[in-house]
Amino acid sequence: MTSTMTSAAYAKGLRKVYRGTVAVDNVDLDVPRGAVLGLLGPNGSGKTTTIRMLLGLVTPSAGTVELLGADMPSGAARVLPRVGALVEGPGFHPFLSGKENLRRVATAEPTLSSAAIPGAVRDALDRVGLSGAANRKFRGYSLGMKQRLGLAAALLVERELVILDEPTNGLDPAGAREIRRVIAQLREAGSTVIVSSHLLAEVEATCTHVAVLHQGNVVAQGELADLLEAGNPTLLVSTPDADRAVESLRDNRIPARIAPDGVRVDLTAVRQPDVLRALVHAGVDVYEARRERTGLEELFAKVTENELDAAADEVPAQVPDDWLSPVSGSGVSGNGVAGNREES
């Protein structure tokens, strides 16, 4: 894999080791311009670390990153004004309102004139549904509102690339829908989006491409549609009359075969309702019909099950005290990248 002019983000052999813990290992990513890439993985799989390395907030132990064609981190000053990002721990001031916080971020945007700031702040708050709470202190915001404000900071000016780390964390279903809507708008406007999530359904609903992370490694990557359709979609029909079911389906030119747990029907060329209609029409009793998992669902279920086993032995993680505290200068930088730089 080599970087091309059509890549918005490109990483090769990315690795990060924190005091002996390998957080990310040998990650290759190639995000085409205009794509919405879902970085999918369970907690601790390395999504945040990967995103921080892409943005130059964390120095890789090995590997290279290019963002919008520029080497990172050396090209950061040049390229980051064109990149909006929401990463964990936005450095907002707790005693300032949402609007005042955004104004502070906006003054550091190199492409925003001071005359344009009030309008940009208003639009960004409106876009994330925070206009009603614009004058309330950040300290009193719910987690979801804090997330929205971070997103607003990323959207203060038009961005070629927007990188969002678990943007729906802490949001209710309506809030999550709003975020999906914002992502769809960004895509329509021609931006490239990288969004991390631990939920397959969320990635399915928003993304054109997906990279699945598991224990710091990319275990699958490609266009979402291809990965979802890897392996034939099948329907498992539970019936006491398997022989007659197969016979009647074949009479309707629907490929089916007897399996130990029922009748397995190939859905490649036929719709599920047509299968059920054929069976009912033939007088076959159907107790249950279940669509079997596609390639990506199967893979992600395995990855998630492993992680759940591992999590059972884990001590809950500590949230550092300075997570949401004011950061003068370093927290919200003048490039739409909200987050604290950290080192191992």
Ligand X SMILES: Nc1ncnc2c1ncn2[C@@H]1O[C@H](COP(=O)(O)OP(=O)(O)OP(=O)(O)O)[C@@H](O)[C@H]1O
Amino acid at 132: G
Instruction: Using CB under 6 A, pick the residue from 8, 9, 23, 195 that binds ligand X.
Output: 23
If we measure between CA atoms, which residue out of 276, 343, 324, 274 comes closest to residue 149?
A: 324
**Of the two residues 38 and 46, which places its CB atom closer to ligand X in the complex?**
46
Instruction: Using CB under 6 A, pick the residue from 7, 35, 38, 41 that binds ligand X.
Output: 41
N-term to C-term CA, the chain? 28
**Of the two residues 131 and 217, which places its CB atom closer to ligand X in the complex?**
217
**Of the two residues 3 and 59, which places its CB atom closer to ligand X in the complex?**
59
Instruction: Using CB under 6 A, pick the residue from 21, 74, 107, 185 that binds ligand X.
Output: 21
Report the nearest approach of ligand X to the CB of residue 77 (Å).
Answer: 24
Instruction: Using CB under 6 A, pick the residue from 49, 168, 248, 335 that binds ligand X.
Output: 49
Which residues in 110-169 contact ligand X (CB under 6 A)?
none
**Of the two residues 63 and 233, which places its CB atom closer to ligand X in the complex?**
63
User: Do residues 85 and 338 lie in contact, with contact meaning Cβ atoms separated by under 8 Å?
Assistant: yes
Look up residue 284 and give its two tokens: 């076959």
Q: Is residue 89 at the binding interface for ligand X, with CB under 6 A as the rule?
A: no
Question: Distance (Å, rounded) from C-alpha 101 to C-alpha 140?
Answer: 13
13 phi and psi, to 5 degrees? 60, 35
Q: Is residue 217 at the binding interface for ligand X, with CB under 6 A as the rule?
A: no
DSSP assignment of 172-211 equals -HHHHHHHHHHHHHHHHTT-EEEEEES-HHHHHHH-SEEE
Q: Is residue 29 at the binding interface for ligand X, with CB under 6 A as the rule?
A: no
Question: Distance (Å, rounded) from C-alpha 197 to C-alpha 41?
Answer: 7
Cis peptide bond upstream of 73, omega within 30:
yes
Mask 180-209, x = binds ligand X (CB under 6 A)?
Answer: ------------------x-----------
User: Do residues 212 and 299 lie in contact, with contact meaning Cβ atoms separated by under 8 Å?
Assistant: yes
Amino acid at 15: R
Q: Is residue 44 at the binding interface for ligand X, with CB under 6 A as the rule?
A: yes
Instruction: Using CB under 6 A, pick the residue from 26, 43, 232, 238 that binds ligand X.
Output: 43
Report the interface residues with ligand X, using CB under 6 A.
18, 21, 23, 41, 43-49, 198, 342
